Amino acid sequence: MTYSKMLYLWSENPGLSIFIWAITAVAILYAARRQAHELILSVGRLVHKSMRLAARSFILAEKRLSARNKEVLLAAGEESAERIIEREFQRINSTVARDLSGYPTLQLELRGQIKMIDNDYSASADVPPDPPGWTKAVEAVANIPASGDTMVANLLGVINKSVNKQHSEAMDDYRKANGQRHSLLKKMLPYWRKMSNTLDEVDKTMAGLLERSKVIDSKMEEYSQIRKGTDKAIRTLSSSSLTQFFVAGFVVLIAMGGAVINFNLIALPMSEMVGGGSYVGPFKMSNIAAMVIILVEVAMGLFLLESLRITKLFPVIGALDDRMRTKMIWITFSILFILASIESSLAFMRDIIAADMQALRQSLSGSEVAAGASGNWIPTAGQMVMGFILPFALAFVAIPLESFVHSSRTVLGLVLVGILRGFSFLLRFVGNIAKSTGGILLKVYDLLVFAPLWIEHMITKNKPEKENQAILKNKSNANNIEGGKVA
């Protein structure tokens, strides 16, 4: 049955038919009101509970992931702190082995210098000369009374000359003794300076060790906080991981730019070596060969830094014995040096090939071929230097790559935690919307059947009043009957 036939089922008048259909629909909806309400409420509760259950699952997954991220973050922080503390102890060991290993010899030298200074100081002491024996004779002569005797006068003159002579000799001896003392003190000066320099070196060494010990104390405090898993340590490690992620990512992007420049330096001459017309799928064989060379250089640089124990991406390499590790260092460095030399020669070939291609284009176009300008060796030399240096520069990309890899675990964990929290919030929001939508649909349903509901409300409103009036009438009749019996 078509829509037009259904419309004119009740009457030829469309308006009347629509009115009859509306009355029929409202009657059907009113008859099914209770069941429709239960259905709408059931669907709303089902969606609400389902969304809450799914949100609860996401919350539990987020808690497990947060706990896992915390464990990974603390493990990475503990490893980094252990590495830093180990480096500090190695530096202290090197300082002690370099500066304090000869401390016993230094102590013997200081003792010898102190002993020599003490001997020289004792020898340079100012000892007053003994009084001469003729002083008593002078005192005896001085007690002779002055009688004007010429013999006594002559005797006193002789005594005066002898005293003056002895005084001069005593002063000369005293000056010589002072000169010897001063020379001894002058000899003490180099020993004093040498001992002062030695003590200054010891003081600098001890000050350096004291500074190192303070650094170790702070690192040990951080290590203790990490082992305890405090909130402060977690916040610090999270901030450090985010900083390392962005900084290392920026450096890796710079290295990728260097790799692109390196690729452009060797892609053209590689077409002469492997053939410019060969393809592997949609890619040129020369471009693939140039990319492989760059990747091999990066791999050799990574292995070189692993052998030097600068990075720790491959624990197997770091666990090698020193002899094998030294061999690997020389092998990887030799391969890297050979590849850098090859790139330098390819960069030289690139300039020649570009000049030949330019000359060929000019000859095919019929224009005069321009002679090479003087000084073209400058860009050629620059390309050769770049071709030789870029492989070694790309070798150091392993350092930021290690930081990027280690920090990316924490960053990805934080991103996943945020995604799970967002999904749980969205599911709770959808569940609450479904629950509220059920209530709204009930109101809309009642609005569609408002006419029967209003009639039902009016009937149910008048019915209690009639029942109350009947009850009151019955009570009054009962009272009248009882009163007649009493009379």
Helices 398-448 and 33-95: angle between axes, nearest 10 degrees: 170
Of 178, 203, 228, the domain-final residue:
228
Alpha-carbon 433 to chain mean position:
43
pLDDT the model gives residue 250:
92
* Pair 150, 183 in one domain: yes
User: Does 361 reside within a domain?
Assistant: yes
User: Does 154 reside within a domain?
Assistant: yes
- Report DSSP letters for 109-123, one per residue: HHHHHHHHHHHHHHH
* Tally of CB atoms within 10 A around 366: 6
Looking at 15-29, 298-312, 423-437, which range is the least confident one? 15-29
pTM of the model as a whole:
0.60
- The Cα 237–Cα 406 span in angstroms is 12
- Enclosing domain of residue 165: 102-228
Choose the most confident range, by mean pLDDT, from 65-79, 363-377, 447-461: 65-79
User: Does 389 reside within a domain?
Assistant: yes
Q: pLDDT digit string (tens) for 153-202?
A: 666 666 666 766 666 766 766 667 666 666 666 666 666 667 667 667 77
Closest-CA residue to 426 (of 82, 52, 61) = 52
* Pair 188, 263 in one domain: no
- The Cα 181–Cα 200 span in angstroms is 28
* Pair 242, 349 in one domain: yes
Looking at 81-90, 151-160, 437-446, which range is the least confident one? 151-160
User: Does 139 reside within a domain?
Assistant: yes
User: Does 219 reside within a domain?
Assistant: yes
pLDDT the model gives residue 484:
47
Q: pLDDT digit string (tens) for 464-481?
A: 555 555 555 565 555 555
Q: What is the mean pLDDT of residues 98-116?
A: 64
pLDDT the model gives residue 330:
92
CA triple 76-77-79, angle to 5 deg: 65
Work out the mean pLDDT of the chain and round it to a whole number: 75
* Pair 326, 243 in one domain: yes
Count up the domains in the chain and report the number: 2
* Pair 212, 330 in one domain: no
Q: What is the mean pLDDT of residues 273-289?
A: 75
* Pair 215, 236 in one domain: no
User: Does 438 reside within a domain?
Assistant: no
Q: What is the mean pLDDT of residues 39-50?
A: 86
* Pair 391, 244 in one domain: yes
User: Does 323 reside within a domain?
Assistant: yes
* Pair 133, 256 in one domain: no
* Pair 304, 381 in one domain: yes
* Pair 244, 124 in one domain: no
In sequence order, the 6+-apart residues with CB closer than 8 A to the CB of 28 are none
**Paired tokens of 399:** 């350092």
* Pair 256, 325 in one domain: yes
User: Does 453 reside within a domain?
Assistant: no
Of 202, 228, 254, the domain-final residue:
228
Of 209, 228, 247, the domain-final residue:
228
Looking at 87-96, 103-112, 261-270, 397-406, which range is the least confident one? 103-112
* Pair 246, 383 in one domain: yes
Higher per-residue pLDDT: 104 or 225: 225
